Amino acid sequence: EAGVTQSPTHLIKTRGQQATLRCSPISGHTSVYWYQQALGLGLQFLLWYDEGEERNRGNFPPRFSGRQFPNYSSELNVNALELEDSALYLCASHPGGELFFGEGSRLTVL
């Protein structure tokens, strides 16, 4: 069974550009979570999608947005990129208990 898959693995953008990150959950999982792991700051909760709806949002500005598609895959969009958005973005899905994480997308903003 395939795990949570994320793309791209690495992404380099310049300040002010937009970034789009993608996530496919484990087959059968309907919930997708996004976390940001910036250097030295641990994991910060970004967004939670379930059954196509945004269920909860962390303490991030509106330029962080996303959506969940009918096949439960998800997209995270970051607009007007700032240098401090450089981080590892982790996606996770769960069947109701523990989260299963993908390998992450590393975003570098120059």
Partner 1 sequence: AQSVAQPEDQVNVAEGNPLTVKCTYSVSGNPYLFWYVQYPNRGLQFLLKYITGDNLVKGSYGFEAEFNKSQTSFHLKKPSALVSDSALYFCAVRDTGRRALTFGSGTRLQVQP
Owner of token pair 């994480």: 101
Report, in Å, the least distance between residue 92 CB and partner 1.
Answer: 8
* DSSP helix/strand/coil, 95: coil
Alpha-carbon distance values, 17 to 39, 83, 104 (Å): 21, 11, 20
Q: Does 21 bind partner 1 (CB under 8 A)?
A: no
Q: How far is the C-alpha of 18 from the C-alpha of 8, rounded, in Å? A: 14
For partner 1, the closer CB: 16 or 44: 44
Judged by CB under 8 A, the residue of 38, 67, 99, 108 near partner 1 is 99
Please report, as ranges, the residues that interact with partner 1 according to CB under 8 A: 4, 33, 35, 41-43, 45, 48, 50, 55-56, 58, 90, 92, 97-104, 106
